[in-house]
Amino acid sequence: MGIAEPDQGVIAGERGRGEGVHTAATVEASLPVRGVLREAGFRLFWTGQTISLIGSQVSLVALPLLAVLTLDAGPFEVGLLAALGRAPWLLFGLLAGALADRARRRPLLVGADLVRAAVLAWIPVAAWLGVLTVGQLYAVTFVVGTMTVLSEVAAQSFLPSLAAPAQLADGNGKLEVSRASAEAVGPGLGGVLVQAVTAPFAIVADVVSFLLSATLLGRLKVDERTGPGGAHAASGTGAGSAATTGPGAGPESVAGPIAEPVAGRSVAGSVAGEMREGLRFVLGHPLLRWNVLAAAVANFFGNILLAILVLYVLTELRLAPAVVGLVLGLGSLGAVLGAAVAQRLIRRAGYGPTLTAGLAVTAAGGLLLAPVDGPYALRVAWAVAALMLLLGGVPLFDVAVVTLRQLITPPRILGRANATMRFLVFGTMPLGALAGGLLGDHAGLRTAVLVAGAGLAVPVVLVLVSPLARLRSHLPPSMAASDRPSPITIPGGNHDH
C-alpha cells in the first residue's frame, strides 16, 4: 500500500507483500492443519491489507496522472516523483528492519497507516484550495514512501504473531492472492476514478483504505511478547515462526521473539551491529551475492520503465486515462498467472531454470512494450500482452529466490538478511526512476522504454554465468545454512498455499 509500493517498483528479487509463499517451518504430515482464516486476528489483518492494497493501486495510477494532467509535469518530474517514493528503501531500509525487530509491530503498522492517510489527504484539500504544487506532491510521496518502508518491514514480522507455523504458508498464500488481485483491479478502478472525479480527488480512495486498515489493526488483540510458540489472543492458537515470508506486499520476518537490547550496550550500538551482521552474511554467501547483483540490476532497469510507464501509455500510446488503468490492470493478470505456476515449475524444473525463465520473460515483456503502435484497439491489446509478460516473470524469480534464501539462511538472522536484501535490491529503484525521467526527457519516452527492455536482459546473462542457474533441488553442503540439512526440498505436500 502507499505511493512507493514495492510490488509496483520491483521487477526482481524482492516483492512487496507476499513476495514468497513458502515457509521453512516443518509440519508433520500426520497433524491436521487449522485453516488460517479461522483465526480472527489473521482475518482482520488480511482484510485490512487487502483494502489498503486496492486503495494504493488507485494512487499508483492517480498520482502520475495528477502530475501530468493537473500540474503539467514532464518525464523528468514524473521520474523524480517515482524516485522520491522509492528512495526511503535506500535511506531507511536497514534501520526499519532493526526497528521492527525491537518494537511492537502492531503500533508501528497502525501509526504508518494513519500518517499515510493524513499526508495523502492533503492532496485533494490543496487541489480544492487551488494551492497544490509539484513540490507538495514530492513531499507527500517521500513521506508516504518512508512510512511504507516501516509498514512493509513490520508487517512481515507481524504475521507469525497471528498464525501458527503450520498456518504460515496458508496465510502467505492468501496475502499473495490479495496483492495480485489488487494489482489487477486497482489500476482500472484508479483510471475510472480519475476520469470521473479528476486525479486529486481519486486519491481519497487511498486515504479511506489506510483509515480502514488502521481501524482493523486497532481491533487486533495480540501479545507480541510471547513470540513463536506462545499463546496469541488474536488467533487463539500457539503461533510462531521459524523463517517466513510475510504479507503482500514483502517478506521481512524474524525468527524468534522480539529482540531486546543487550545489557550494557546502547540500543543504537546493538542496531548497528545487527545491520553489519546482516550485510556480512548476505554479501559473503555466493548464492545470495549473485541474487543481489541480478535483482539490483533488474530493478534498476525495471524502474526506468515503471517510472514513466503511465506517461508513456498516456502520451505515446495515446490512450484515455480510464483505458490506462484498464491496461495496467489487465497486464497485472500476468503476475497472477506467474504466481499460480511458480511452485509447479520449481518442482518440475528446479530453482535455477525457474528463476532464469522469470527474468527472461520479464525482459521479453519490456522489449515488446517499446514498439507498440497501430490502430487504437491494437495498441491496447499489444500493451496488455507486453505488460502481462513483464509482470508475469516476476513471481517466477521471486518465489524461487525467496525460498532459497529461507533455506540457506540461519533462522536467527533471517530477519536481518531479509532487510539487508531489500536494502541492497531496492536501493537501485530510485536511481532507475531518476534515469527513466532523464532518458524520457532528453531521448524520448519510447527510447527510454527500449533501453529499459534491453537492460532487463542483463540479469538473465548474470544468472546464467552464476551458481544460481545450476541449482535444481539440492544445495551444495558448503552453501547450506549450518543449522539446516543440505538437501533443498520443494515445500509442498502438506503446505497448502
Contact indicator for 171, 117 with CB cutoff of 8 Å: no
Check residue 313 and report its DSSP letter.
Answer: I
Contact indicator for 174, 36 with CB cutoff of 8 Å: yes
Q: What is the DSSP string of 57-83?
A: HHHHHHHHHIIIIIT---HHHHHHHHH
Helices (H), 233-285: 267-284
Contact indicator for 409, 23 with CB cutoff of 8 Å: no
Backbone angles phi, psi at 88, to 5 degrees: -60, -25
Rounded CA separation 86/72 (Å): 22
pTM of the complete model: 0.69
Contact indicator for 406, 478 with CB cutoff of 8 Å: no
- Collect contacts of 37-40 with beta carbons under 8 A, ≥24 apart: 37/174, 39/162, 39/163, 39/167, 39/234, 39/235, 39/236, 39/237, 40/234, 40/235, 40/236
**The residue to which cell 496483492 is assigned:** 179
pLDDT value of residue 238: 33
- Quick one: cell of 431? 536511481
Contact indicator for 420, 297 with CB cutoff of 8 Å: no
pLDDT beneath 70, residues of the chain: 1-34, 36, 101, 157, 165-170, 172-173, 176, 223-271, 406, 411-412, 414-415, 473-497
Q: Is 341 exposed, middle or buried (0-12, 13-18, 19+ CB in 10 A)?
A: middle
Contact indicator for 417, 275 with CB cutoff of 8 Å: no
pLDDT value of residue 21: 35
Residue 401, SS3?
helix
Rounded CA separation 252/172 (Å): 12
What lies within 8 Å, CB to CB, of 111 at 6+ separation is none
Helices (H), 312-375: 321-331, 333-349, 351-369
Check residue 17 and report its DSSP letter.
Answer: B
Question: What are 136-161's pLDDT values in tens digits?
Answer: 999 999 999 999 888 887 777 677 77
Contact indicator for 214, 114 with CB cutoff of 8 Å: yes
Contact indicator for 331, 390 with CB cutoff of 8 Å: yes
pLDDT value of residue 406: 67
CA distances from 268 to 108, 254, 261 (A): 19, 19, 9
Rounded CA separation 388/53 (Å): 19
